[in-house]
Amino acid sequence: MSNDPLLQPYQLKHLTLRNRILITSHEPAYAEDGMPKARYRAYHGERARAGVALTMTAGSASVSRDSPPAFNNILAWKDEVVPWMRELADECHEAGAAVMIQLTHLGRRTRWDQGDWLPVVSSGGEREAAHRASPKLAEDWDITRIIGDYADAAERMQAAGLDGIELECYGHLLDQFWSPLTNTLDGPYGGDLDNRLRLTFDVLSEIRKRCGPEFIVGLRATFDERLPGGIDGGMGLQIAERLTASGMVDFLNVIRGHIDTDPGLTDVIPIQGMPAAPHLDFAARIRAATGLPVFHAARIPDLATARHAVASGALDMVGMTRAHLADPHLVAKLLAGEEERIRPCVGANYCLDRIYQGGMALCLHNPSSGREIELPHRIAAAEHPLRVTVVGAGPGGLEAARVAAERGHAVTVLEAASQPGGQLRLAARSERRREMLSVIGWRMAECERRGVIFRFNTYADVETVAETRPDVVVVATGGMPDGPVLARGDDLTVSAWDILSGDAAPGRNVLIYDDAGDHAALQAAEVIAKAGGQVEIVFPDRNVAPEVMSMNLVPYVRSLQKAGAVMTVTWRVREVLRDGNGLIARLGSDYGDAVQERRVDQVVVNHGTRPLDDIYFGLKPGSLNKGAVDYAALVTGAPQEIVTNASGGYTLYRIGDAVAARNVHAAIHDALRLMRLI
């Protein structure tokens, strides 16, 4: 048996877990009609087969009609969920993994205009900042109904063959009752701590009555809201001790913080640039105080941190949820002694940020996660090895090279720069986004393992590509800053890239015009502020940086507010004029004919990118397919077979920003689904 702390079995009541790694309850928003159908099952099954001990399905599975999901969660109040959950559980059990689910009533953390348009209910009337619904105060009949709904849902999951359930008590109805900030009730369910806990104990009692003492029941709960007047660490310990003393709780999954605002949520679930495992010591204190099995997950992205968490006695089971989105085969690689080959989670939070905007959870640099059916994680070998030439060593180009090499093709990569990374290397100049380099580093290591040939400092033209005698050419040259942008004065501006690369020195009084709405302008603002400059960022949109999703926006806003930066929405920079030693920026608006002016010494423009595609159009006449892509084949997983120029010497494709400005995930996705069948 291995001596690795992570590979030791763990006994949870009657259930033997094969190691100490779990996927915590989370909602990837893969449900169909509120049911965990094929996509959902494939996602969990892949990770179960790879060796995870316990997979927690369905974060925030709803137990009641008046708890409509704010995004695509499982509807645990429907009887039809049982056979779907049974199929999922059976598949995971066959692979040796245990399966649980998280049940909840959202309380105020939803909206009245979702689902059946029923009133939002809570223990207080204060609306939640994130979802903006004003709840009604729970009445006696609401409480009776909800207790029954919890027990009904628990019975459904027991009938489906799950190993247990977890009740969600952070930001949801049960802990809304716990917190002095959100419980304004009188009578048996309001007032002192025992009364505020009464609903939870009534729910637990009814679940035990229906499901028996052996069914595993735990709580994922906040034991310190980190809000003035809310549940603090001392009160949280009292709650944990009362839960333990009840004998009805088999484990605690520890949360620290609050999730009713974007900043609060980001502190609970930290992203890249934030400290790893910030709440681990707190979870350890809960474990020491209660003696109950303790689970925990909060930015534990790598096995070294996870190993420390278990070896130090802080945790019994360590959650590595986002890490399993990045690499579902994490445990299998650990077991095989290939820890260095694990695709790292870079904390970009593309997964969570997408679900809070109504999309599926997707990993920034593993497009197969969530697409297990159409884009399997394992790359099949090609029947006929080819010579593949990739132009550009950014994330898309490296993914194309990696996949082609996994297929068994002979791959050459031509890159104009002295090192790989493309635009991502610019992004990683920010200390907060330094981890993005792992997107490049992992692919470089995989390419080198497969014998990919790299030619750096090579500006590719048609002749250079021809010298590689390719059967397939993939153009992944990315983009360059787009312009001109203004009606007048573009020559008086610099781009956000100029600031990030150091090609332009930061000014002292700077106006940044961001009509792309992505990371570049915010990063440039941070560089200027750090150099001592005063910054105003102007956005034509009604929101700040609309392409930077909610949790990623939080650290930017914090740092820029601290630096005194001003963020102005609904205005456009129309023109820039020279004014002595300075500049005058004239602003207009899409909303009317209002005009403003700013006198500054530097104007920085972020207008996105345009394709760097000269090499593609140079290669197009000599290609078999004239660069055409069969989109139907691409999205259905069929081979590309277009031939419109029989005299051509190679098949030609372009991907990523060389096609049109998108993002890192899109470039990698392009490469994977194209190359996996070539």
Q: Which helix (H) or strand (E) holds 54?
A: strand 54-62
| CB atoms inside a 10 Å sphere around CB 28 | 25
Q: Can you tell me the distance from the alpha carbon of 74 to that of 492, in angstroms, rounded to the nearest whole number? A: 54
**DSSP-derived secondary structure for 607-646:** --EEE--HHHHHHGGGBSSTT---HHHHHHT------S-T
Q: Which helix (H) or strand (E) holds 397?
A: helix 395-406
pLDDT class of 231 with cuts at 50, 70, 90: very high
Q: Can you tell me the distance from the alpha carbon of 331 to that of 328, in angstroms, rounded to the nearest whole number? A: 8
pLDDT tens digits for range 133-166: 999 999 999 999 999 999 999 999 999 999 999 9
- Quick check: 274 and 263 in contact, CB under 8 A? no
Dihedral Cα 593, 599, 603, 607, nearest 10 deg: -10
- Return the beta strands (E) in 170-314 as ranges: 216-222, 251-255, 294-296
Q: Can you tell me the distance from the alpha carbon of 182 to that of 108, in angstroms, rounded to the nearest whole number? A: 10
Question: HEC string of 214-250?
Answer: CCEEEEEEECCCCCCCCCCHHHHHHHHHHHHHHCCCC
**Chain length of the chain:** 678
Q: Can you tell me the distance from the alpha carbon of 667 to that of 647, in angstroms, rounded to the nearest whole number? A: 30
Q: What Å distances lie between residue 287 and 6, 55, 237, 240, 255, CA to CA? A: 18, 21, 10, 9, 12
User: What's the CATH code, domain 387-478+612-676?
Assistant: 3.40.50.720
Which pLDDT does position 447 carry in this prediction?
Answer: 98
Q: Helices H, strands E: what count in the chain?
A: 22, 27
| CB atoms inside a 10 Å sphere around CB 381 | 9
Provide the token pair at 622: 């000599």
pLDDT tens digits for range 335-348: 999 999 999 999 99
Q: Can you tell me the distance from the alpha carbon of 251 to that of 243, in angstroms, rounded to the nearest whole number? A: 10
DSSP class of residue 431? Answer: G
pLDDT tens digits for range 176-230: 999 999 999 999 999 999 999 999 999 999 999 999 999 999 999 999 999 999 9
CA-only gyration radius of the chain, Å: 27
CA proximity to 535, closest of 576, 563, 571, 494: 563
User: What's the CATH code, domain 482-608?
Assistant: 3.50.50.60
Q: Can you tell me the distance from the alpha carbon of 549 to that of 554, in angstroms, rounded to the nearest whole number? A: 9
Residue-range domain boundaries for the chain: 5-346, 387-478+612-676, 482-608
**Does 333 score more than 90 pLDDT?**
yes
Which pLDDT does position 585 carry in this prediction?
Answer: 98
Q: Can you tell me the distance from the alpha carbon of 170 to that of 219, in angstroms, rounded to the nearest whole number? A: 10
Order of strands across the sheet that contains 582-589: 572-579, 582-589, 592-600
**DSSP-derived secondary structure for 544-585:** SSTTS-HHHHHHHHHHHHHTT-EEEES-EEEEEEEETTEEEE
Going by C-beta distance under 8 Å and a sequence separation of 6 or more, which residues neighbour residue 179?
196, 225, 230, 231
Residue type, 475: V
3-state secondary structure of 410: strand
Which pLDDT does position 2 carry in this prediction?
Answer: 84
**Does 572 score more than 90 pLDDT?**
yes
pLDDT tens digits for range 81-122: 999 999 999 999 999 999 999 999 999 999 999 899 999 999
Percent of the chain at pLDDT > 70 equals: 100
pLDDT class of 586 with cuts at 50, 70, 90: very high
DSSP class of residue 412? Answer: E
* Mean confidence (pLDDT) of the chain: 96
Provide the token pair at 548: 């930077």
Which pLDDT does position 71 carry in this prediction?
Answer: 85
pLDDT tens digits for range 422-473: 999 999 998 889 999 999 999 999 999 999 999 999 999 999 999 999 999 9
pLDDT tens digits for range 598-625: 999 999 999 999 999 999 999 999 999 9
pLDDT class of 70 with cuts at 50, 70, 90: confident
Which pLDDT does position 145 carry in this prediction?
Answer: 98
- Quick check: 555 and 274 in contact, CB under 8 A? yes
Which pLDDT does position 358 carry in this prediction?
Answer: 83
Q: Report the relative pairing of strands 10-12 and 15-17 from DSSP bridges.
A: antiparallel
pLDDT class of 1 with cuts at 50, 70, 90: low
Going by C-beta distance under 8 Å and a sequence separation of 6 or more, which residues neighbour residue 147?
199, 202, 203, 206
CATH number for 5-346: choose from 3.30.70.3270, 1.20.1300.10, 2.40.50.140, 3.20.20.70: 3.20.20.70
